[in-house]
Homo-oligomer: A and B are copies of this chain.
Amino acid sequence: MTQTRTTRLDRGRSALGPALELVHTGQAPTRAVLTAELGVTRATAGAVAAELEALGLITVDAHPTAPVGSQGRPSHRLAIDPAGPVALAAQIHADGYRAALVGLGGRIVATAPGCGIVDADPAQVISEVVEVGAELLRTTGRRCVGAGLAVPSAVAEPEGTALNPLHLAWEAGAPVRDTFRACLAETGVTDQVHGAAVAGFAANDLNVAALAEHRHGAGRGARHLLVVGTGHHGVGGALVLDGRLHTGSSGLALEVGHLTVDPEGRPCHCGSRGCLDVETDPVALFDAAGRTADSGTSLLTQAAELVRTRYADDPGVREAAGRLIDRLGLGLAGLVNILNPDRIVLAGLHRALVEADGERLRGVVADRSLWGRSGSVPVLPSELEHNSLVGAAELAWQPVLDDPIGTLGG
């Protein structure tokens, strides 16, 4: 028997992947920088850049960019090819779904108007959002490298099933990833290189948001990034370690909603009391402020807006939000003791809280974490508007970043 072809040790052997990652995260403006960052010779960096250009991923300026104050030959600028391939990103949330095309660097190239239907089974909703995305691909004529789906639920690995699809009319255990892939195949979103359907990935929305923030937002450069956020469906967490999402052994890590932050707090559906989830969500804010929400926009939006506009002036809001900040700080401190991240990024209502009074929040985290004083952890608001959508695209871009030639041709 002839020996089977093996590629296991070939992964990562080429400098192409790391180079593309640098371009992707905006850290490779020129070939000279690429040389330094990759630790290779100028010859290699030049060859790598040429290869990326040949793959249609980047453009190299014909004319050098005038340097400001340095001597030496000026560099030619490397830029992400604006006409390059894109990833199909889809997001399903409590209010409906969204689709977009996202290019390298997390740039949203095209978006479809959102839709508000959620009272349907997974197959129906996923089918619709894939159809919308496919339409985007057809009208723009873009080449597609893959597709990613963000869902408001923990996604089990490696099954790809949604375990707690709260606020969605889905049963637990819905095979979202396989459904997504089937829809991609049916809709004819095919890979121009390999002829088959493009690879489809599905993950929790906050997890992929963390990925997006790490690469293009407030988490850029962090080695161990912790992201915590309140969405429409409770508090969630995500962890990015050395550039990779840590989802645990079965995709269920960072279920931080039920950390106890007040032993005498509100009862939680998990059976305990004073969970981070029920103590720092929009309902807790309105209750603490003695207000009632309007029936118009979502509770989350109203709560964030309330904190943003009234924290400085309204003592009632200040006290209510302060209560949430203290509880959140306690939860974050517990996570700091366990995970020791070098940065924390907050999303959703938590983002509004840190923007309103980051000083207070950071103080609580420092006081209640064991090593807070030896170097307090930066706690920042998230930066990207559509981080879940961009993050869904990251899932699809990942194989390309790992092995550009293997996925795009050659």
Contacts and interface: CB of A to CB of B under 8 A. Distances in A.
Given A13-B13, A370-B270, A253 B42 contact: no
Q: Main secondary structure on chain A at its contact with chain B?
A: loop
B252 A340 contact: yes
A248 interface: yes
B241 A224 contact: no
A292 interface: no
B3 A9 contact: no
A254 interface: yes
Interface residues of A, number: 49
A15 B9 contact: yes
A166 B6 CA distance: 51
Interface in A26-50: 38-42
B6 A374 contact: no
Interface in A363-380: 370-371, 374-375
A8 interface: yes
A127 to B, nearest CB: 27
Contacts of A260: 260, 263
Nearest to A42: B3
Contacts of A259: 334, 338
A20 B91 CA distance: 44
A163 interface: yes
Contacts of A293: none
A370 B255 contact: yes
A298 interface: no
Contacts of A156: 374
Contact of A249 (B3, B38, B338, B341): B341
A342 B250 contact: yes
Nearest to A161: B374
A203 to B, nearest CB: 14
Nearest to A334: B259
Contacts of A255: 337-338, 340, 370-371
Nearest to A377: B249
Contacts of A248: 224, 339-342
5 contacts: A8-B38, A8-B40, A223-B249, A255-B337, A256-B337
Given A224-B249, A248-B339, A335-B338, 4 more contacts: A163-B371, A249-B340, A250-B375, A255-B370
